[in-house]
Amino acid sequence: MAPLIIAERRIILFLISFIAGIICFHQLDHIGALAKPLLHITSAAFCVTFTLAIIHVWLWVRARSGAFLGMVMFSLICGAIGYALAALQYTLHQPAQLDAPLSAAVTAKNIDIDGRASGRSRLWLEVIDTTPRHLNLLDARLRLSSKVVPKGAVIGAVVEMRARLFPPPRRILPGTPDFSRNARIAGIAASGFVTSDIHVVAPPSKLSAALFLGGVRANLAATLHRDLKIPAGGIAAALIVGDRRFISDPIYDLFRASGLAHLLAISGLHMGLLCFGCMAALRFFAALFPKMASRLAVHKYAAVIAVLIGLIYVILSGASVSAVRAFIMALLVIFAVLIDRRALTIRNVALAAFVILAINPVAVFGAGFQLSFAATAVLVMAYEKSLNRPPARRHRIIGYLIGIFAASVLANFATAPFTAQHFGSFTPWGVLANMIAIPLTGFWIMPSALLYMMALPLGLDSVIGPVFASGILAVVEIAAFFAKLPFADTALSPPGYVVLMLLVGGIAVSYTLVKPMHLAGWGLATLAILLWIMKPLPDAVLFAENRKPTLVVASANGHLASYGQLSDFLMDMAALRLGQKHAGDSYQNCDGGAVTSCGRVSWLPL
């Protein structure tokens, strides 16, 4: 069977085995089998991995012609490594967590601030002391939301407040994201909200490198927000340093409904425009000196400088999953340039995924990882397929427009199942919006952003700032136009993890097997789509744990009917599970048990 698998694409199967190992471990956590014996599970996983590796080497020495058997063994090793790394991550991150709600006075060091401009800010705190003293909270991390944060409560400052604390959130409803994984890896002992004024006890002092960089990011984001027009300043802070605190909810909703929300997160688009734009600019500058350019490998020197610029960009942006993935991908592409190899390959995409998941296995469950790798993998697959076709004879501008359209269509459909799973929506106008916004970002916003950052320490930011801001405002107008079109933000029911695995497996099989065996992959993908279409949705969800029972019912007009008061977060979870929309206060708030426009509800004894 080995000749049926395209040799240079085998790495996709190895990556899927690696991810399957991570998922298998977390299934133990899902069924509650990881209460105490984590160390034993981790040790056993590494022993199994080592044993499989020895068997693989023995088989390779004894029977080198057994290619298919060797691939199967290496796939098993990749799965065992993924399982072992996921177990090791959980073993190393066992924070003492709060086991019951608590009200306390908290003294802590502020280590990060995020949130939204029009909502509540969120403080990440390292606890120094509590009153009453709670041993599980000493030196632990808290995540608290607050309506007002004083100016002195910067990163590194010691603050004091009263707060209502709760254990870290678990999975709210079946089929919705499980937030407890990220809370555990981040070391969150409790989350909650501030119930008093925040008092600054001491200013920042003796900051670590991480807190210092966090302070630089926060100060730069505040400077951009202050110096540029609203909302350009908040979007500029998101583009340059990855800080989205100053983007208001209405602006963010415009980008989400128009399919341009990916522009607000540092991703492969921004990293590619920055790194390879710098490479092109340096090569263009070197071409002005033909004697030097003819003696030196200018493209390789430009590639090294581009890597350094990309590294600075990642550090300033806070090293999010999408930014790190984009940088690793750019690094692999530039390394291929340095050794004179083809740069854009699916192997490089898979290697970037291996690196990120080896460092942080739980990232595989995040929307950022899934969306960014789905779009990147499909685009690179299409690019590799296009290399086997004869070059088309068309004008360069027409070819560029066709390329942008094809890339937008592929990326939109590649990310649609994952967008539906995590956000319950689909943006049909995203293709057209991206055809306009991406060239504008590449030729206007990112170059002017680089010039703005270079002009900032020289005091010339007032010259470049209006140009930078006008490009951002143009993208805002594009987002507003497409967000107001019919069906701009269509509710889409989540496909479920089984459908997602079948889809990913089907595409992987169709891409790695030779013809006509690749049709088996398309069969798996078709089965996944049919299961998604036929999957029944619940008519209602009931929130009853640790609270008065509250029912949320799906309605015929596509909006929710709530029999009781719920927070926006719980309404979002209900909307995701029911496959309907929750837009602010547009849902009906019904009085449970009464005959209203929502209908009659009869409570049953619990």
308, 467, 497, 537 from 353: Cα distances, Å: 21, 36, 19, 33
Strands (E), 401-508: 425-426, 490-491
Tokens at residue 556, please?
């015929």
Per-residue model confidence (pLDDT) at position 602: 40
Mention every residue, 6+ apart, whose C-beta is less than 8 A from residue 166: 98, 101, 190, 191, 192
* Cα–Cα distance, 213 to 365 (Å, whole number): 27
**Cβ proximity of 113 and 245 under 8 Å:** yes
pLDDT at 604: 37
**pTM, 2 dp:** 0.80
As given in the structure block, the two tokens for residue 406 are 């094809």
The candidate with the shortest Cα–Cα distance to 487, out of 436, 417, 554, 430, is 430
Q: How far is CA 110 from CA 67, 408, 519, 592, in A?
A: 55, 40, 55, 42
pLDDT per 10-residue tile (average), the chain, 606 residues: 71 90 79 55 74 73 61 83 86 75 88 70 86 79 85 85 84 77 80 88 79 80 84 85 81 85 76 79 84 81 85 77 75 79 78 87 85 85 77 70 80 86 82 85 84 82 86 90 84 85 89 83 89 85 78 77 78 81 56 42 38
3-state secondary structure 375-396: HHHHHHHHHHHHCCCCCCCCCH
Domain boundaries along the sequence of the chain: 2-92, 102-206, 266-443, 497-534, 540-589
DSSP class of residue 441?
I
* Angle at CA of residue 241, ends 239 and 243, nearest 5°: 85
Phi-psi map region of 339: left, alpha, beta (phi>0 left; psi -120 to 50 alpha): alpha
Residues 6+ apart with CB under 8 A from 157: 109, 110, 200, 201, 202, 203, 204
Which pLDDT score is estimated for 598?
Answer: 46
Question: What is the C-alpha to C-alpha distance for residues 347 and 350, in angstroms, rounded to an integer?
Answer: 5
Q: For the chain, how long is the longest CA-to-CA vector?
A: 88
Task: Give the integer Cα–Cα distance in Å for 392 and 399.
Answer: 8
Tell me the sheet residues that pair with 202: 158
220 and 316 in contact (C-beta within 8 Å)? Answer: yes
Query: What's the pLDDT at 343?
Result: 67
Which one, of 334, 286, 336, 282, lies nearest residue 311 by Cα? 334
Written as one letter, the residue type at 90 is Y
Partners of residue 106 on adjacent β-strands = 130, 161
Q: 135 Cβ partners below 8 Å, 6+ apart?
A: 96
Residue for token digits 């403080």? Answer: 123
Distances (CA, A) of 398 to 394, 395, 401, 402, 403: 7, 5, 5, 6, 8
Half-sphere exposure for 581 (CA within 13 Å, toward CB): 16
Neighbours of 213 (CB within 10 A): 17
What pLDDT sits at residue 530?
92
- Dihedral sign (CA 576, 581, 583, 585): negative
Please list the residues that pair with 43 across neighbouring strands. none
Number of Cβ within a 10 Å radius of residue 375: 22
Rounded to whole angstroms, the Cα distance separating 333 from 181 reads 32
- Residue 603 — φ and ψ, nearest 5°? -80, 135
Q: How far apart are CA 488 and CA 257, in angstroms?
A: 6
Q: What angle do CA 245, 416, 570 make, to 5 degrees?
A: 50
Which residues touch 316 (CB under 8 Å, ≥6 apart)?
213, 216, 217, 220, 240, 241, 242
Buried b (16+ CB within 10 A) or exposed e, 64-102: eeeeeebbbbbbbbbbbbbbbbbbbbbbeeebebbeeeb
Tokens of 227: 């110096």
Sorted by sequence, the CB contacts under 8 Å of residue 130 that are 6+ apart come out as: 104, 105, 106, 107, 137, 138
User: Considering only the top CATH level, what class is 102-206?
Assistant: mainly beta
Rounded Cα–Cα distance for residues 476 and 229 (Å): 12
pLDDT for res 64: 56
**Sign, CA torsion 290/442/356/55:** negative
